[in-house]
C-alpha cells in the first residue's frame, strides 16, 4: 500500500429535506489501500459514496484524486476520472452476455454511413447493400477484441467466469464479479464497493476478498462499504467510521478490535451475543408434511419436507444459499405454489390457499429480498407500514381509509422500531430508506400484527451491528409472546443464538437436526455442504431421528435423539 493520500474528500456537506446526510466529512484513501467505511444504516455512507460517483452533488466541499480537483456532476465524470462503483443492487441486464454487459455504454461506432457520398451512379441494389452494411457496422458491438480482453481480466483476477455466458445463467457471486469487471474494463484507479457481500454466501465472500487483495496489490485503491465487522478486520488496511452523518474516527485495522469499532458505530457497547431465556413450547402453529415445490426454473427445490413449529419455538434453518431456503420460506408464507404436501396453520388446512388467507391466519413474512418482495419502494412509509393493517376497523373512514389514524400508526412504528431518516411518513418513500432502516420497517409491520407464525428469511442480512442487535431482540421478544418462528439464515451465530432447534437443509431436504447446546460448527458446516462425518453410516444423517419431526412426532423426543446422533458423530 502506497503511503500517500490518493483520494481526498474534504469538508463534504449534503443535506436533504429535514435530514443532514453528510455533516462536513473528511475522508482520505491511500494508493493501493483497501479502506473500510463503517456506520449504522443511515449514517451517511452511501450518500458520501454517491457524491464521489457523481450521483449526488454536495452542497459544499471538495474532492481531489491524485493532484486533480474533481467536478463530478454525473457518473460519467467519475468514470472519466478513474472512479468505478459497484452498487449493492446490481445494474446488469440478465438476457445479455457478460461481455455485452461490460462494454454496454462504451461502444464506438465501427463505421459511419456518410449521406454525402456520391454513389448516385451505382446500381440501386449496390447502394442499398452499402446502406445495410454501414448500419450493421454502426449498430453492432464488435465484441471479438473486447471479449478477449474481458476474459483476460477475468482470468487474471481469478474470477472464473465465461464472458460469453448470459448473466441470467450466473449465480449471484459471479454476477458480483461481472460488476467489478465492468469497472476494471474502464481502467479505474479507485473502486467503490457498496455492501458487496450482502447477497453472497461465506464461500463467495472469501473468493471476493481474494480478488480484492490481488487488485490492491497491483495498486488499485478500494473503498469497501460494509456493516460486517469481521469483513473489515479481515480485509481492510484502515477503516473510517461514520455516525449520524459525521466522521467519528479513522483507525488502522491492526490497532483496533471489532468491539471498539462497534462502539464507534453505535456510540455505546454492543452485545454480540443475545442471551435468550427458556420458553415453554405450546401447541403446533405450523404443521407441514411432504412439502414439494419447484423453483422459478421449474426444477424441484423442495423434496418432501416435514416441519412442525410450536408456539414460542424458534426453529432455525441453516444451509448454503440455493438449497431450497427461498422456496421453503415462500411456500410457508403462501406465495409459492406447492406441487405436493399438506400445510396447516393453527390446525387449519391452508394447502393451496391464497397469500391473503395466510395473512388472515396470522402468518407474518420477512422476505430475504426486502426491495423486491418486502415493500412497494415507490410508495410512502405510511403506505408500506399499513399494507397488512388497512382492513382493520380502526383505519376505516366509511368506505375510505382514515389517513390520519394510519399516519399515527406508521409514526408509532417508526418510533418503536427506531427507523431513522423518516421526518414525515407521508413524504419519504420506502425505497429511499437505507437498507437497515427499510428492514426495520418491514419487521415492524410484520411483528406489530402479533403473528401466530413468523417466517423470517435472512432477517439481518445487510444491516449494521446495532440494527442486528435490535432485530434479534425483537424476534426473541415475539417468541416470548408465544409466536412460532421459522428462522432461515446463513449466519451460524444467528442460528445458534436465537434457535431452540436447528435443522440443516441441503438440496431441498432436511439432513440433520440438533440443538444450540449440542451444535458443533464443524459438523454443521459438513452437513450444509452435503458431506458426512467420518466413520458415520451413510444412512445415519437421513434416519428418522435426524430430520425434523412431523406433526405426529414429539419435537422434544426428536431433538434428544438427534443430540445422541450428533454426539456419536463428532467423535472427539
Is 90's pLDDT higher than 50?
A: yes
- Say which range, 56-65, 203-212, 298-307, has the weakest mean pLDDT: 203-212
Q: 519: which DSSP letter?
A: -
Does some domain include residue 54? yes
d(C-alpha 137, C-alpha 129), whole Å: 12
- Domain assignment present for residue 231? The answer is yes
The CATH number covering residue 213 comes to 3.40.50.300
CA distance 160 to 373: 31
| Residue 53, in any domain of the structure | yes
Q: Domain tally for the chain?
A: 1
Q: What are 478-488's pLDDT values in tens digits?
A: 999 999 999 99
Within-domain flag for 14: yes
The three three-digit cell numbers of residue 59, written as one number: 452542497
Structure confidence by residue, pLDDT tens digits, 37-47: 998 777 888 89
Residue 320 has pLDDT above 90, yes or no: no
Asked whether residue 75 is assigned to any structural domain, the reply reads yes
Predicted pLDDT at 272:
59
pLDDT tens-digit series, residues 99-110: 998 888 664 433
- At 1, is the pLDDT very low, low, confident or very high (cuts 50, 70, 90)? low
CB neighbour burial string for 200-227, b if at least 16 within 10 angstroms, e if fewer: bbeebbebbbebbeebbeeebbbbbbbb
Q: 78 is in which domain, residue-wise?
A: 5-97+169-266
For residue 567, the model assigns a pLDDT of 33
Answer whether residue 346 shows pLDDT above 60.
yes
**Helix/strand/coil for 413:** helix
Residue 174 lies in a domain: yes
- Cell digits of residue 263: 462502539
Assigned domain for 208 exists? yes
6-25 in b/e burial notation, b at 16+ Cβ within 10 A?
Answer: bbebeebbbeeeebebbbeb
Task: Tell me the per-residue pLDDT of 350-405, one tens digit each, with 9 for 90 and over.
Answer: 999 999 999 999 999 999 888 878 899 899 999 999 888 877 777 877 788 888 99
Instruction: For cell 462503483, name the residue.
Output: 85
Percent of the chain's residues with pLDDT above 70: 83
C-alpha cell at 274: 443475545
pLDDT, residue 142, reads 59
In DSSP terms, 7 is beta-bridged to: 29, 65
Secondary structure of 113-143 in the HEC alphabet? CCCCCCCCCCCHHHHHHHHHHHHHHHHCCCC
- Specify which of 58-62, 66-70, 86-90, 119-123 reaches the highest per-range mean pLDDT: 58-62
CA atoms of 386 and 451, how far apart (whole Å): 15
pLDDT the model gives residue 201: 63
User: pLDDT at residue 88 above 80?
Assistant: no
User: What confidence score (pLDDT) does residue 155 get?
Assistant: 83
Cell of 461: 442480512
Amino acid at each position: 500500500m502506497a503511503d500517500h493520500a490518493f483520494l481526498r474528500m474534504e469538508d463534504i456537506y449534503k443535506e436533504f429535506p429535514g435530514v443532514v446526510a453528510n455533516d462536513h466529512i473528511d475522508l482520505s484513501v491511500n494508493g493501493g489501500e483497501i479502506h473500510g467505511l463503517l456506520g449504522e444504516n443511515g449514517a451517511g455512507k452511501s450518500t458520501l459514496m454517491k457524491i464521489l460517483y457523481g450521483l449526488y452533488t454536495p452542497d459544499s466541499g471538495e474532492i481531489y484524486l491524485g493532484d486533480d480537483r474533481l467536478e463530478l456532476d454525473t457518473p460519467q465524470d467519475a468514470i472519466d476520472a478513474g472512479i468505478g462503483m459497484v452498487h449493492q443492487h446490481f445494474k446488469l441486464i440478465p438476457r445479455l452476455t457478460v461481455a455485452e454487459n461490460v462494454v454496454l455504454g462504451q461502444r464506438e461506432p465501427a463505421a459511419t454511413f456518410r449521406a454525402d457520398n456520391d454513389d448516385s451512379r451505382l446500381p440501386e441494389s449496390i447502394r442499398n447493400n452499402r446502406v445495410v452494411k454501414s448500419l450493421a457496422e454502426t449498430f453492432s458491438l464488435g465484441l471479438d477484441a473486447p471479449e478477449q480482453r474481458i476474459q483476460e481480466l477475468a482470468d487474471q483476477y481469478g474470477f472464473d467466469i465465461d464472458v460469453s455466458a448470459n448473466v441470467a445463467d450466473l449465480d449471484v457471486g459471479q454476477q458480483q464479479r461481472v460488476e467489478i469487471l465492468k469497472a476494471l474494463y474502464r481502467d479505474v484507479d479507485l473502486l467503490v464497493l457498496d455492501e458487496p457481500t450482502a447477497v453472497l454466501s461465506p464461500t463467495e465472500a472469501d473468493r471476493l476478498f481474494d480478488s480484492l487483495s490481488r487488485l490492491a496489490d497491483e495498486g488499485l485503491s478500494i473503498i469497501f462499504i460494509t456493516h460486517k465487522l469481521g469483513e473489515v478486520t479481515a480485509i481492510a488496511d484502515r477503516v473510517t467510521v461514520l455516525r449520524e452523518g459525521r466522521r467519528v474516527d479513522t483507525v488502522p485495522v491492526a490497532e483496533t478490535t471489532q468491539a471498539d469499532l462497534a462502539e464507534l458505530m453505535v456510540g455505546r457497547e454492543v452485545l454480540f451475543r443475545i442471551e435468550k431465556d427458556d420458553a415453554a413450547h405450546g401447541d403446533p402453529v405450523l404443521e407441514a408434511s411432504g412439502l414439494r415445490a419447484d423453483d422459478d426454473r421449474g426444477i424441484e427445490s423442495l423434496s418432501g419436507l416435514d416441519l412442525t413449529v410450536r408456539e414460542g419455538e424458534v426453529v432455525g434453518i441453516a444451509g448454503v444459499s440455493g438449497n431450497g431456503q427461498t422456496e421453503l420460506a415462500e411456500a410457508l408464507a403462501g406465495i409459492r405454489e406447492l406441487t405436493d404436501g399438506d400445510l396447516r396453520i393453527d390446525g387449519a388446512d391452508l394447502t393451496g390457499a391464497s397469500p391473503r388467507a395466510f395473512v388472515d391466519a396470522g402468518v407474518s413474512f420477512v422476505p430475504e429480498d426486502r426491495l423486491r418482495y418486502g415493500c412497494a419502494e415507490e410508495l410512502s412509509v405510511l403506505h408500506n407500514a399499513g399494507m397488512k393493517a388497512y382492513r382493520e376497523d380502526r383505519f376505516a373512514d366509511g368506505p375510505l381509509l382514515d389517513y390520519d389514524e394510519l399516519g399515527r400508526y406508521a409514526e408509532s412504528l417508526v418510533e418503536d422500531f427506531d427507523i431513522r431518516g423518516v421526518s414525515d411518513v407521508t413524504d419519504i418513500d420506502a425505497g429511499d430508506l437505507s437498507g437497515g432502516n427499510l428492514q426495520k420497517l418491514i419487521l415492524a409491520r410484520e411483528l406489530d400484527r402479533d403473528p401466530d407464525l413468523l417466517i423470517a428469511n435472512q432477517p439481518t442480512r445487510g444491516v449494521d451491528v446495532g440494527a442486528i442487535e435490535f432485530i434479534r431482540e425483537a424476534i426473541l421478544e415475539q417468541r416470548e409472546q408465544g409466536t412460532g418462528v421459522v428462522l432461515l439464515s446463513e449466519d451460524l451465530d444467528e442460528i445458534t443464538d436465537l434457535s431452540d432447534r436447528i435443522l440443516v437443509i441441503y438440496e431441498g431436504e432436511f439432513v440433520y437436526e440438533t440443538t444450540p447446546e449440542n451444535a458443533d460448527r464443524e459438523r454443521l458446516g459438513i452437513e450444509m455442504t452435503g458431506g458426512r462425518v467420518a466413520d458415520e453410516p451413510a444412512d445415519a444423517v437421513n434416519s428418522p431421528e435426524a430430520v425434523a419431526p412431523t406433526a405426529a412426532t414429539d419435537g422434544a423426543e426428536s431433538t434428544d435423539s438427534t443430540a445422541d446422533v450428533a454426539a456419536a458423530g463428532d467423535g472427539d
